[in-house]
Structure 1
Amino acid sequence: MRFVPTLLAAACGLALSACGGSSSSSTPAATEQLTGFSECRQFFPGELPRLTALRERMPRDLCYDAFAILHSGRSKTPVFVVERLSREQLLDADDEVRTNRFFADARLPSAERALLEDYAGSGYDRGHMAPAGDMPTAQAMAQSFSLANMVPQAPANNRGSWAGIERATRDYAMRASGPVYVFTGPFHDTRTPKTIGPGRVWVPTHLFKLVYDPQSNRAWAHWIENTDEARAGTPIGYGELVQRTGIEFLPGLRPRD
């Protein structure tokens, strides 16, 4: 497993409500460019994302075979996960067997990583951000079960509405004329997030999945509450996602909604 443990010099982290605001601008205030990801820049369509200054979230960049993670040691979940999906990768993923071997990622410092016992008895699923169904090899499949790639997710959401969003994203990537880039992550709209387990893993209030197709220069995002009752709605535009999360995922690009 490839892993880049460098603490990012740029300030970043999980977006709280104060980062979103109601401004009509699609660029969040006081953002800083990420650094790192030197071994997995292929998962990004251009410049690395810019994030509002949240240095206390303890960000680290992690590289895996089929995805990359900006991880928060404060929340013990991803800030975002990014993939480069292609028809060829998804065809390779078709015959991979789901392992279900979840593991605490020992390559993160012990104080910054989620543990299996954090999720045990919590009532929440270990919800993949980079889906197991996207993984093209046995090794990539195994890596996707790292708890660094998980968030506490409402069970019916994970297995129902969210699974539908994942399938729709794969269906689009299969039809696209070239690779598409997908950013997935959690969002918290409170400064006092709900937590689970002795490690106090943060439970997101919402989840997002941004799809960017460079061939058509289009981008759209799925946004859903992290509840069992939530249903997938009409995707939101890229600019609205930037406002809500405080993350400029595609700096230097001007995607159409």
Structure 2
Amino acid sequence: MCQRKMLQSSMGALLLLLAWLGGLVLGEISKDFSECLNFFYERTPPQGITAAGYQPICQRYKNQYHFASLYHRQHRTPVYSAYVLSPADGKRPNSTWMYEPQLAFSRASSEMKTFTTPMDQNVIESQAVLQDYKNSNFTKGHLNPSMHQKTRENREATFTLTNVVPQKAGSNSGPWSRLENEVLRKFKTFCNGSMYVITGSMPYKSEPRWINNRVSVPEYMWSAYCCPSFRASLYTSATPFFPTYAAVGRNDRNSDEDIVPVNVKARASVRGYDVRRMTLESLEEILAQRLGMPISLFQGQCQV
């Protein structure tokens, strides 16, 4: 009897140890971004964003961290994705879409996985799935675009539904795409070090709008960058755009014009999906008003 109790006690201690070790190994879904702080300026995530249901994700693919996302579980979309910009050294990869297993199972693999058929019901309940976007009249809008990532693995890692929001095609392939290319050009021309980018979505002011009664549709997209080391002495004309700059883009051509005015002279296919460039401070004021939170995106406003 004594030996049996000792064996049971030892087994219990071993199980507790394994559970504890497992928590260390599978720590990407956690209360903070402690495993991927290098994607934020001064290793500091945006401050002031506090709400129930917001889940930090260190986006892991092929045993490597590639960027960070703050995910809204109830809306099944990311609030933002944060990354260090690095121009692509190749073409856009084929879009093999993935999901985050740990949103469905806390003890699951920390690696994002490719969608399979049929999907586990726990995955379907925990996050957006490909079926949500089918026949929705929305594209899968990357917050961290693949062409802002250097290696093939970096670019492939952006094809996870925890990095996309429902985005109208007129925005995704029009003014918003031009903004992404513009940021890339500014980085190549003026940035003398790392450029930290945070891109997010802004819900409707009144009440959420949904696709498939499951995935929240943003009214606006927004983005901001921080490049503390820039060549201002060589390009004084670029000074207004550094060390920080920001933008807000319309994702609903019928929205009011209080945040982003409409260019009525734009061609019909993209009219109403305008992007307004602005200072970081202006973006933070808009986010604070719309989300009801005092938001600071970059530590010390990216001032060296």
TM-score range, shorter chain: 0.7 to 0.9
- Give distance in 1, aligned partners of 2:284 and 2:47: 10
Contact 1:39 1:63 in 2 (8 A): no
1:189-245 CA distances to partner (integer Å, 9 max, x unpaired)? 3241110125x1100000011011112462111111103533544411111211221
- Give distance in 1, aligned partners of 2:172 and 2:282: 24
Contact 1:37 1:63 in 2 (8 A): no
Contact 2:244 2:302 in 1 (8 A): no
Structure 2 residue 246 is matched with structure 1 residue 250:
no
92, 105, 125: which is aligned to 2:100? 105
1:21-79 CA distances to partner (integer Å, 9 max, x unpaired)? xxxxxxxxxxxxxxx21221111112221124322x33233234332111111111111
* TM superposition shift of 1:138: 2.3
Structure 2 residue 75 is matched with structure 1 residue 51:
no
Amino acid in the other structure paired with 1:63: Q
Structure 2 residue 61 is matched with structure 1 residue 61:
no
- Map 1:77-226; keep pairs closer than 5 Å: 77-85=77-85, 89-90=86-87, 93-109=88-104, 110=123, 111-175=125-189, 176-198=191-213, 200-216=214-230, 218-226=243-251
- Give distance in 1, aligned partners of 2:57 and 2:184: 25
Amino acid in the other structure paired with 1:225: R
Contact 1:210 1:221 in 2 (8 A): yes
Rg comparison, structure with higher value: 2
If the length of structure 1 is used for normalisation, what is the TM-score?
0.78
- Give distance in 1, aligned partners of 2:49 and 2:36: 22
- Give distance in 1, aligned partners of 2:157 and 2:92: 13
Contact 1:194 1:202 in 2 (8 A): yes
217, 232, 237: which is aligned to 2:279? 237
Unaligned runs of 5+ residues in structure 2 are 1-25, 105-122, 231-241, 253-269, 289-294
- Give distance in 1, aligned partners of 2:271 and 2:302: 34
- Give distance in 2, aligned partners of 1:108 and 1:206: 25
- Give distance in 2, aligned partners of 1:161 and 1:3: 37
Match of 1:73 in 2: 73
Contact 1:157 1:229 in 2 (8 A): no
1:129-165 CA distances to partner (integer Å, 9 max, x unpaired)? 1001122222222211100000000011101111101
Match of 2:107 in 1: none
Match of 2:236 in 1: none
Contact 1:4 1:61 in 2 (8 A): yes
Contact 1:161 1:230 in 2 (8 A): no
1:254/1:103 CA distance change after superposition, 3 Å: closer
1:254/1:139 CA distance change after superposition, 3 Å: closer
Percent of matched pairs sharing the same residue:
24
Contact 1:67 1:81 in 2 (8 A): yes
- Give distance in 2, aligned partners of 1:188 and 1:164: 22
RMSD: 2.2
Amino acid in the other structure paired with 1:43: F
